[in-house]
Amino acid sequence: MRAAALLCLLLLAACGQPRYVVGDPYLLGGRWYYPREEFALDTTGLASVLPDRAAGRRTANGETHDPSALMAAHRTLQLPAVLRVTNLETGRTVSLRVNDRGPADPGRVVAVSRRAAELLGIPAGGAAQVRIAVDQDASRALAAAAPRPPEAAPALRIATAPRARLDSESLAPPPGARGGSPAPVPAAVAAPAAAEPAAAALPATRLPERVEQGAPRPGRLMLEAGTFSAEAPARQQAARIGGRAEPLGSGRARQWRVRQGPFPTVAAADAALARALASGLADSRLVVE
């Protein structure tokens, strides 16, 4: 029974069907990233466009990469997820299906497919100020419906153990007892059929092209290099990058945020981020305010 269920999951993956994946820590562009479930993500940064170097390739959760579909890559979100992306420079918002890891550039918070970039107004090879927010309802629906990857060497070993043959053996009832059908046999036969409707009920992998037009609200590009509970270490950190320590909150909840900027161009912000990362400030990132 377990072997049949695992085989079904593997066949779904081989056919490019969606699987739900969080994943282990991984190294990308010389930095470690730690995937996690995050249904309340809402942040800003710069977006880039995914290259079309291999249309038809498999994404990180086993789907088929399609540059003409509304897809995106994120370094740590659960896969798949639905992300609302707003280009702050054009005011356009679209919903994208996150199904891959990336972007490799630490100065970009998300990478979008070619078609998504066209709808959002992001130039090919360029970058745009964006706000990204997880669509909680849609993302939780995907998490509930998509098959999970097999965990399961143990399940395979149990399913193929010799005892399975004994469980399915049919024996005559003892004198005075009524015969009945052994329970394990129909359960094992029914398992593959039960898995097929679940796959058929999965939400569509291709999102509709719906563009919401709002007012453009471009902001200032800033570098953030950490938040501290005390002022002294925040000022020390700020001195390393030529930035400043800014207070957040009040009373016992007060914190100190290390920032640098604003920067006049994307190139200047990228250069500042590169310097901060080279100095060992691995949590540095670009934001838009």
Tens digits of residue pLDDT in 104-159: 999 999 999 999 999 999 998 899 999 999 999 999 999 998 888 765 333 334 34
Whether 221-288 and 18-143+204-213 are alike in CATH topology: the answer is no
What tokens appear for 264 in the block?
């006049």
Q: What is the 8-class DSSP label of residue 192?
A: H
Q: Which of 93-102, 127-136, 173-182, 264-273 has the lowest mean pLDDT?
A: 173-182
Fold for 18-143+204-213, please state it.
Answer: Barwin-like endoglucanases (2.40.40)
Q: Where are the alpha helices (H) located in the chain, listed in sequence order? A: 2-14, 114-120, 136-145, 153-159, 163-167, 184-200, 231-241, 266-278
Given 3.30.70.1070, 3.40.50.800, 3.40.50.1970, 3.30.1330.20, which CATH number is that of 221-288? Answer: 3.30.70.1070
pLDDT of residue 179: 46
Query: Is 216 within 8 Å of 30 (Cβ atoms)?
Result: no
- Average pLDDT along the chain: 82
16 vs 24: CA distance, rounded Å:
21
Q: For residue 52, what pLDDT is reported?
A: 78
Of 17, 23, 247, 53, nearest to 146 (Cα)? 17
How many Å separate Cα 159 from the centre of its chain?
32
State CA 141 to chain mean position distance.
14
DSSP bridge pairs for 288: 221
Task: Please count the other Cβ atoms lying within 10 Å of the Cβ belonging to residue 189.
Answer: 12
Check if the beta carbon of residue 67 is closer than 8 Å to that of residue 115. Answer: yes
| DSSP element (H, E) containing 11 | helix 2-14
Q: What is the pLDDT of residue 56?
A: 79
Q: How far apart are the first and last CA of the chain?
A: 54
Please count the helices (runs of H) and the strands (runs of E) in the chain. 8, 13
pTM assigned to the model: 0.77
Q: How far apart are CA 148 and CA 208, in angstroms?
A: 25
Query: What is the rounded average pLDDT of the residues 219-238?
Result: 96
The pLDDT of 10-16, averaged and rounded, is 43
Distant-in-sequence, close-in-space partners of 85: CB < 8 Å, separation ≥ 6: 47, 72, 93, 94, 95, 96, 110, 112, 116, 120, 130, 131, 132
Domain ranges of the chain: 18-143+204-213, 221-288
